[in-house]
């Protein structure tokens, strides 16, 4: 075939395909225009998945009569004049492509009026070309009706899912707008039924209530800038993070409840998603996701939204800083709301209020005991004679149940603690800290351990020798795919060190990811923790509880499973019919 220039009509339709992929894209472009026009109320109406009709009405500033046709010309925009403006863009639109693209694939009617116009204007377009213009009464604002979308592009029509699927996309999209613009009153009606109505009173929690329901809204935790729980003040003043995030026990099976808004634009970004996941690591089961409304605001020049016509993807100039700011804000909200630490048990001596020791007393009254309870006979024999196993301000160990759970009594009821999960939590936090400080405590093995690795693991090991050394593994080549292990991270032992190494080598692919320290720490903790079925002496159980009490999340293991069951005094009273 000879090379030819394409017809203008074909060019327009191809370009339109980029912006208008499906009915929801039309809704997105129209609502963004309404927001850019300063509307405080926007209503969206769709019929038949948007294929029969999409109508967006706003009370924004409207379009001058003399400009109504221009608005539908390609690359006609009021939002951008020079390349320079692109750097400081605050509006959602700027390419001047939406209206012409929509008009190229549907029949469009626009009625619009500005505040000073005596009457509004109606413009009709067929096949992208204006076919009729006349004055028409209309309150200030703009109504755009899109009829018979894609009727002239049957191929596009074929690729669409069911109209129900398209409707649900539209509903999702409008919900996202409602969450990112709580000050705008949104109404969505699908096939004549109103499915979403927000009040537009600028309160995010209220918007969450209208989208996800009052119960969810009531439990969401507030994200805020400021010093984090470690006392460190944010070092990125130009990056502002706000919004709401769910406590760990309020979660969903899908990521679609995580909304990320960058300068109020709904975006999908892997890095930001990871920053969120990271903050919840160890608090959620692996297949659960939090509910998040995250607003990131940063100077427009720090981000490039001009990556793709739909502007759904963005490019950050300072990825690491954004990651840290998001992660810190969410972690702080979760820390602040972490379930109260296990209540300290008051001994008989402490029962009289004047005599009670301040809580700090519990922390300083160290009980000399090996760091890792019940790990090896060697460790136990080092145990100096311990004072009373139930020191002041502590849960009293009642015994071990099924060689798996520690039963403990405290002033606020009865606790059953899973010894493995509890120890995992303790070690997870310790390894995490050691990794952050780049100082993992290691211990020499009396006799080096011989480990065999698979070919893939050998490749990983060759690449990650330094990383493994940082983790406390001293590894020497010994033979074909065989290595000598001389030191291991404390408190791993011969019997679990090889397993831990194998797992870490499999994980090592992800070494580059920002969540590597957490994954490594979780893996080490899991292998090093005491197992179910292991007999614990009371003082070992006691020490385990003491250390658990000092973790940031004593009630969940790193995998998000509970470490304990609590029967509160109230529960007990109810059980025994005392109330």
List residues binding ligand ADP (CB under 6 A): 29, 33-34, 37, 58, 60-63, 71, 76-79, 93-99, 142
Burial of 466: CB neighbours in 10 Å, binned 0-12, 13-18, 19+: exposed
Assess contact for 473 and 487: CB atoms under 8 A. Answer: yes
DSSP percent split of the chain into helix, strand, coil, nearest 5: 40, 25, 40
Residue 57 or 419 with smaller CB distance to ligand ADP: 57
Burial of 350: CB neighbours in 10 Å, binned 0-12, 13-18, 19+: middle
Residue 37, contacted partner among Mg ion, ligand ADP, none, CB below 5-8 A by kind: ligand ADP
- Give the tokens for residue 216: 């969810």
Residue 96, contacted partner among ligand ADP, Mg ion, none, CB below 5-8 A by kind: ligand ADP
Residue 42 or 342 with smaller CB distance to ligand ADP: 42
**Shortest Cβ 36–Mg ion spacing (Å):** 7
Distance (Å, whole) CA 308 – CA 12: 17
**Shortest Cβ 570–ligand ADP spacing (Å):** 57
Binding site for Mg ion (CB under 5 A): 33, 93, 98
Assess contact for 259 and 238: CB atoms under 8 A. Answer: no
**Shortest Cβ 3–ligand ADP spacing (Å):** 31
Of all residues in the shown chain, the one whose CB is closest to Mg ion is 93
**Shortest Cβ 238–ligand ADP spacing (Å):** 26
Residue 77 or 347 with smaller CB distance to ligand ADP: 77
**Shortest Cβ 97–Mg ion spacing (Å):** 8
- Give the tokens for residue 242: 């706000």
Assess contact for 119 and 137: CB atoms under 8 A. Answer: yes
- Give the tokens for residue 339: 């379930």
Residue 63, contacted partner among ligand ADP, Mg ion, none, CB below 5-8 A by kind: ligand ADP
Residue 20 or 326 with smaller CB distance to Mg ion: 20
Residues whose CB is less than 8 angstroms from the CB of residue 171 and which lie 6 or more positions away in sequence, other chains included? 188, 190, 195, 196
Residue 79, contacted partner among Mg ion, ligand ADP, none, CB below 5-8 A by kind: ligand ADP
Assess contact for 460 and 509: CB atoms under 8 A. Answer: yes
Of all residues in the shown chain, the one whose CB is closest to ligand ADP is 93
**Shortest Cβ 56–ligand ADP spacing (Å):** 7
Residue 96 or 182 with smaller CB distance to ligand ADP: 96
- Interior/surface letters 356-377, b for 16+ CB within 10 angstroms, e for the rest: bbeeeebeeeeeebbebbbbee
Residue 60 or 128 with smaller CB distance to ligand ADP: 60
Residue 144 or 520 with smaller CB distance to ligand ADP: 144
Residue 16 or 178 with smaller CB distance to ligand ADP: 16
Secondary structure (3-state) at 188: strand
The residue to which tokens 């015994």 are assigned = 399
**Shortest Cβ 78–ligand ADP spacing (Å):** 3
Assess contact for 149 and 26: CB atoms under 8 A. Answer: yes
Assess contact for 547 and 426: CB atoms under 8 A. Answer: yes
Residue 94, contacted partner among ligand ADP, Mg ion, none, CB below 5-8 A by kind: ligand ADP
540 in the Ramachandran plot: left (φ > 0), alpha (ψ -120 to 50) or beta?
alpha
Residue 94 or 415 with smaller CB distance to ligand ADP: 94
**Shortest Cβ 80–ligand ADP spacing (Å):** 7
Distances in whole angstroms, Cα of residue 94 to Cα of each of 27, 91, 306, 323: 17, 7, 9, 27
Residue 293, contacted partner among ligand ADP, Mg ion, none, CB below 5-8 A by kind: none
Distance (Å, whole) CA 158 – CA 9: 21
**Shortest Cβ 175–ligand ADP spacing (Å):** 20
Assess contact for 30 and 2: CB atoms under 8 A. Answer: no
Residue 23 or 554 with smaller CB distance to ligand ADP: 23
Residue 93 or 472 with smaller CB distance to Mg ion: 93
Residue 80 or 338 with smaller CB distance to ligand ADP: 80
Task: Count how many Cα atoms sit within 13 Å of the Cα of residue 502 in the half-sphere of its side chain.
Answer: 14
**Shortest Cβ 33–Mg ion spacing (Å):** 4
Residues whose CB is less than 8 angstroms from the CB of residue 463 and which lie 6 or more positions away in sequence, other chains included? 508
Distances in whole angstroms, Cα of residue 69 to Cα of each of 73, 100, 101, 134: 7, 10, 14, 12
According to DSSP, residue 354 is labeled G
**Shortest Cβ 297–Mg ion spacing (Å):** 21
Residue 34, contacted partner among ligand ADP, Mg ion, none, CB below 5-8 A by kind: ligand ADP
**Shortest Cβ 79–ligand ADP spacing (Å):** 5
Gyration radius from the chain CA atoms: 31
């Amino acid at each position: 075939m000879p090379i030819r220039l394409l017809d203008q009509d074909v060019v327009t339709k191809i370009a339109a395909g980029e912006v208008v992929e499906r009915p929801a894209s039309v809704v997105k472009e129209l609502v963004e225009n309404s927001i850019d026009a300063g509307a405080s109320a926007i209503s969206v109406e769709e019929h038949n998945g948007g294929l029969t009709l999409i109508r967006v009405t706003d009370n924004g500033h409207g379009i001058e009569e003399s400009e109504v046709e221009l608005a539908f010309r390609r690359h006609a925009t009021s939002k951008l004049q020079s390349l320079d403006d692109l750097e400081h863009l605050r509006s959602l639109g700027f390419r001047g492509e939406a209206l012409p693209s929509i008009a190229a694939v549907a029949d469009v009617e626009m009625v619009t009026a500005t505040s000073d116009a005596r009457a509004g204007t109606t413009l009709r377009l067929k096949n992208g070309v204006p076919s009729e213009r006349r004055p028409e009464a209309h309150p200030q604002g703009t109504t755009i009706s899109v009829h018979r979308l894609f009727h002239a592009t049957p191929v596009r029509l074929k690729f669409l899912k069911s109209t129900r699927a398209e409707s649900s996309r539209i509903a999702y999209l409008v919900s996202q707008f409602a969450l990112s613009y709580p000050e705008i009153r949104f109404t969505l009606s699908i096939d004549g039924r109103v499915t979403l109505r927000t009040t537009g009173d600028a309160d995010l929690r209220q918007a969450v209530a209208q989208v996800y329901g009052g119960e969810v809204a009531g439990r969401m935790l507030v994200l805020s800038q400021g010093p984090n729980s470690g006392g460190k003040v944010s070092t990125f003043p130009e990056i502002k993070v706000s919004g709401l995030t769910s406590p760990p026990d309020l979660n969903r099976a899908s990521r679609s409840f995580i909304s990320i808004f960058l300068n109020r634009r709904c975006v999908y970004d892997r890095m930001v998603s990871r920053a969120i996941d990271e903050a919840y690591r160890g608090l959620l089961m692996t297949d659960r996701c939090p509910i998040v409304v995250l607003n990131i605001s940063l100077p427009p020049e720090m981000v490039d939204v001009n990556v793709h016509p739909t502007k759904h993807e963005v490019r950050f100039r300072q990825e690491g800083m954004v990651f840290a700011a998001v992660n810190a804000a969410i972690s702080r909200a979760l820390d602040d709301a972490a379930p109260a630490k296990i209540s300290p048990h008051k001994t008989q001596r402490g029962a009289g209020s004047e005599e009670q020791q301040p809580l700090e007393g519990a922390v300083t009254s160290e009980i000399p005991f090996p760091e890792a309870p019940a790990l090896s006979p060697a460790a136990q024999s080092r145990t100096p004679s311990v004072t009373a196993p139930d020191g002041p301000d502590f849960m009293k160990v009642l015994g071990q149940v099924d060689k798996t759970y520690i039963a403990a009594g405290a002033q606020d009821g009865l606790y059953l603690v899973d010894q493995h999960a509890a120890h995992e939590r303790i070690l997870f936090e310790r390894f995490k800290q050691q990794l952050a400080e780049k100082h993992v405590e290691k211990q020499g093995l009396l006799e080096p351990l011989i480990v065999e690795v698979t070919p893939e693991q050998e490749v990983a090991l060759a690449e990650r020798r330094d990383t493994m050394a940082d983790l406390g593994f001293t590894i020497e080549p010994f033979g074909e795919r065989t290595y000598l292990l001389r030191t291991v991270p404390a408190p791993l032992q011969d019997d679990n060190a090889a397993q831990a190494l194998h797992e870490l080598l499999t994980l090592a692919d992800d070494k580059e990811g920002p969540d590597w320290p957490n994954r490594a720490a979780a893996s080490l903790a899991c292998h090093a923790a005491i197992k179910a079925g292991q007999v614990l002496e009371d003082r070992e159980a006691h020490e385990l509880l003491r250390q658990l009490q000092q973790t940031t999340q004593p009630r969940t293991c790193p995998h998000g499973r509970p470490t304990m069951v609590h029967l509160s005094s109230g529960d007990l009273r109810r059980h025994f019919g005392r109330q």
